[in-house]
A and B are shown apart, each in its own frame.
Chain A
Amino acid sequence: SQKIEQNSEALNIQEGKTATLTCNYTNYSPAYLQWYRQDPGRGPVFLLLIRENEKEKRKERLKVTFDTTLKQSLFHITASQPADSATYLCALEFPGRRALTFGSGTRLQVQP
């Protein structure tokens, strides 16, 4: 079956460090992968989309990599700030489904 796996344990890091979150998927080669941020009590907010032919994508302090051989995406936040504390979700569009499937998300806590 098709699965998306994210580390369910919260990631705690110190302010200023780089946070790295992992998204693994199985049994499929998606055309693209997306990352979202979700704050408590809010709907998810789109951050980045990376396509299968892109190894890396950056947006300000955010960087996403996409390794289709490992079936893995890494999401990095450099110079992390307490305001980056949130749950980060990765999402894919599996074949035959016209909507995104989301991973379980990883909660990031940046300590001042």
Chain B
Amino acid sequence: SAVISQKPSRDICQRGTSLTIQCQVDSQVTMMFWYRQQPGQSLTLIATANQGSEATYESGFVIDKFPISRPNLTFSTLTVSNMSPEDSSIYLCSVEALSTGELFFGEGSRLTVL
């Protein structure tokens, strides 16, 4: 299993500002995934972050808006840039257990943009 810590757990931000979310895993993992969960909705994959390479973004998500860093095998950050109220959401970091294929999730970062 993997234990994932996310910071901040929640934040209230002003329109036009940026926020960086941190994700720390208690073991080394190759891939980390960033999901977004808008109110009342399911999870939508933003990007896959591999250590040592550029993140791979899903359709509808771009690097300028959601830059991702992956400096080592246990840590990643997601920045939500130039925020608008539409970015209000829960952002979730996850990693995959290669032996079983299951995903482990952090508790999420609840972002409210005013």
Interface residues of A (CB under 8 A from B): 32, 34, 36, 41-46, 49, 89, 91, 93, 97-105
Contact = CB atoms under 8 A, between A and B. Distances in A.
A43 B92 contact: yes
Which residue, A43, A46, A100, A101, has most C-beta atoms of chain B within 10 A? A43
Nearest to A51: B101
Which residue, A34, A91, A99, A104, has most C-beta atoms of chain B within 10 A? A99
Main secondary structure of the interface of A (DSSP, over half): loop
Which residue, A42, A89, A100, has most C-beta atoms of chain B within 10 A? A100
B105 A44 contact: yes
A16 B43 CA distance: 30
B6 to A, nearest CB: 8
Given A34-B102, A49-B101, A99 B33 contact: yes
B53 interface: no
Contact of A42 (B41, B42, B108): B108
Nearest to B108: A43
Contacts, number: 51
B101 A45 contact: no
B73 interface: no
Shortest beta-carbon contacts, A-B, top 7: A43-B105, A46-B102, A104-B42, A102-B43, A102-B42, A99-B33, A99-B45
Interface of B: 4, 31, 33, 35, 41-43, 45, 48, 56, 92, 94, 96, 100-108, 110
17 contacts: A41-B108, A43-B92, A43-B94, A43-B105, A43-B108, A46-B104, A49-B100, A89-B43, A98-B31, A99-B31, A99-B48, A99-B96, A100-B45, A101-B45, A102-B42, A103-B42, A104-B42
Given A34-B102, A99-B33, A42 B45 contact: no
A79 B43 CA distance: 29
Nearest to A31: B101
Contacts of B110: 41
Contacts of A43: 4, 92, 94, 105-108
A103 B37 CA distance: 12
